[in-house]
């Protein structure tokens, strides 16, 4: 492992790798080491549902996600890796009038941004997913451009792309401390030695508060275990990813035919935990059978979990911090960090390379929690 680097990125999840790739590709910053305490795909980036959507409630998130979808479409051409991107749309369901108002308000913003999102009756939703039960469904929203990817090749694509351009990806290398002088970072201390550097990106996802604390910076994001499972492969029958905003149920069919899905479980306490439970399977089975009774006879093949990285206002923490020089945060991406990473990798790389703070990163700065300038996003699953 290199013992000095222009930039050290902590965390080789989708965020850290996308930033490393874009630093090299668009800014010529190739002397970069990405360190990870484990293996590639060991964090949330290797454990998620692969959903990619632009159906959000703020113009900011809608436009960012639309750009991410465009990058997903071009990913194989740019990076030579097939990420199995399938645009079957996202079908959101709501079961009460408040939910309908929330969907309608979000769809209006999406339409203003140029998205073809439509509000549907339960019957119209059933025309898109014939196996859907309409019982209790008050309204739905559908955007045909949303879709799903297979997360692992996405990680491999960025990792290999960054390495080809000169970055080093150091797995099984845990950050345990920092060398500092006043406000300046002088080195990152790892389980495999110290890397001299003055510029660090904290892309450690649900672990990012622990990294920041080593430098005396307190982040308000909290890890929260989310369980997920995959069924045996079935013949293709399900076009969109179906998401029920009333209970956090979501499920989609992968390119291999598996039904991959999860559901909210509010009883899980905050904390770093990758355990799996029968309780989740019971909650999921109840919710998915109500939404799609046909799946009752399908076998569950695998279940696993990962950590959402939750912030108090459901928006990320990105940008420089006031306490330490050249220490960039890129975390707090909730349950939608995978889909935002393609565009975020570009924007954070630009921030690191140029130090020019955009209005977006002013709003997403850590300082907003101290100043009481909390943001809002209502289209959150789970």
Ligand X SMILES: Cc1cc2nc3c(=O)[nH]c(=O)nc-3n(C[C@H](O)[C@H](O)[C@H](O)COP(=O)(O)OP(=O)(O)OC[C@H]3O[C@@H](n4cnc5c(N)ncnc54)[C@H](O)[C@@H]3O)c2cc1C
Residues that bind ligand X (CB under 6 A): 10-16, 35-38, 42-45, 47-51, 174-175, 203-207, 211, 226, 228, 262, 306-309, 331, 333, 335-339
Closer by beta carbon to ligand X, 130 or else 177: 177
Closer by beta carbon to ligand X, 124 or else 156: 156
Measured from the CB of residue 45, what is the shortest distance to ligand X in angstroms?
Answer: 3
Residue 3 · residue 196 · CB < 8 Å: yes
Measured from the CB of residue 123, what is the shortest distance to ligand X in angstroms?
Answer: 27
Residue 70: count other Cβ atoms within 10 Å of its Cβ: 13
Closer by beta carbon to ligand X, 24 or else 310: 310
Closest listed residue to residue 274, CA positions, set 225, 229, 323, 322:
225
Closer by beta carbon to ligand X, 109 or else 310: 310
Measured from the CB of residue 230, what is the shortest distance to ligand X in angstroms?
Answer: 11
> Max CA-CA distance within the chain?
64
Closer by beta carbon to ligand X, 107 or else 317: 317
Measured from the CB of residue 149, what is the shortest distance to ligand X in angstroms?
Answer: 9
Measure Cα distances from 134 to 244, 257, 291 in Å.
12, 23, 8
Complete edge-to-edge strand list for the sheet that includes strand 139-143: 118-120, 139-143, 90-94, 241-244, 249-253, 259-262, 222-231, 300-310
Residue 324 · residue 217 · CB < 8 Å: yes
Rounded CA-CA distance 309/270 in Å is 10
Measured from the CB of residue 48, what is the shortest distance to ligand X in angstroms?
Answer: 3
Closer by beta carbon to ligand X, 142 or else 338: 338
Closer by beta carbon to ligand X, 89 or else 101: 89
The sign of the torsion formed by the CA atoms of 34, 22, 74, 90 equals positive
Closer by beta carbon to ligand X, 75 or else 98: 75
Measured from the CB of residue 175, what is the shortest distance to ligand X in angstroms?
Answer: 4
Closest listed residue to residue 333, CA positions, set 89, 75, 64:
64
Closest listed residue to residue 13, CA positions, set 234, 280, 201:
201
Rounded CA-CA distance 348/15 in Å is 9
Measured from the CB of residue 237, what is the shortest distance to ligand X in angstroms?
Answer: 20
Beta bridge partners of 82: none
Residue labelled with tokens 């912030």: 311
Rounded CA-CA distance 332/311 in Å is 6
Measured from the CB of residue 244, what is the shortest distance to ligand X in angstroms?
Answer: 14
Backbone angles phi, psi at 58, to 5 degrees: -115, 145
């Amino acid at each position: 492992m290199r013992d000095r680097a222009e930039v050290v990125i902590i965390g080789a999840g989708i965020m850290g790798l996308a930033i490393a790739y874009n630093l090299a590709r668009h800014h010529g910053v190739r002397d970069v080491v990405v360190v990870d305490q484990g293996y590639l795909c060991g964090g949330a980036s290797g454990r998620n549902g692969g959903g990619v959507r632009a159906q959000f409630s703020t113009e900011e998130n809608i436009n960012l996600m639309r750009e991410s979808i465009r990058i997903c479409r071009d990913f194989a051409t740019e990076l030579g890796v097939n990420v199995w991107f399938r645009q079957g749309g996202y079908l959101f369901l709501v079961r009460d009038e408040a939910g309908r108002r929330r969907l309608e308000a979000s769809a209006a913003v999406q339409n203003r941004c140029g998205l073809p999102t439509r509000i549907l009756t339960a019957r119209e939703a059933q025309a898109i997913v014939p196996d859907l039960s309409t019982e209790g469904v008050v309204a739905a929203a559908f955007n045909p451009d949303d879709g799903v990817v297979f997360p692992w090749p996405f990680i491999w694509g960025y990792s290999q792309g960054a390495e080809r351009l000169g970055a080093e990806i150091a797995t099984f290398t845990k950050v345990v401390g920092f060398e500092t002088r006043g406000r300046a970072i002088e080195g990152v201390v790892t389980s495999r030695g110290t890397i001299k550097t003055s510029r660090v990106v904290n892309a450690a996802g649900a672990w990012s508060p622990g990294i920041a604390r080593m430098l005396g910076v307190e982040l308000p994001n909290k890890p929260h275990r989310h369980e997920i499972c995959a069924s045996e492969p079935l013949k293709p029958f399900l076009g969109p990813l179906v998401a029920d905003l009333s209970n956090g149920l979501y499920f989609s069919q992968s390119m291999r035919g598996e039904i991959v899905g999860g559901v909210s479980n509010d009883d899980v306490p905050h904390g770093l935990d990758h355990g799996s439970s029968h309780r989740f399977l019971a909650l999921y089975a109840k919710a998915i059978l109500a939404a799609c009774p046909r799946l009752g006879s399908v076998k569950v093949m695998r279940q696993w979990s990962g950590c959402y990285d939750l912030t108090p206002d459901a928006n990320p923490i990105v940008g420089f911090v006031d306490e330490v020089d050249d220490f960039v945060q890129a975390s707090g991406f909730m349950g939608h960090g995978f889909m935002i990473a393609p565009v975020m990798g570009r924007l954070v790389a630009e921030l690191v390379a140029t130090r020019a703070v955009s209005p977006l990163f002013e709003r997403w700065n850590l300082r907003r929690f101290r100043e009481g300038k909390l943001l809002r996003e209502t289209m959150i699953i789970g």
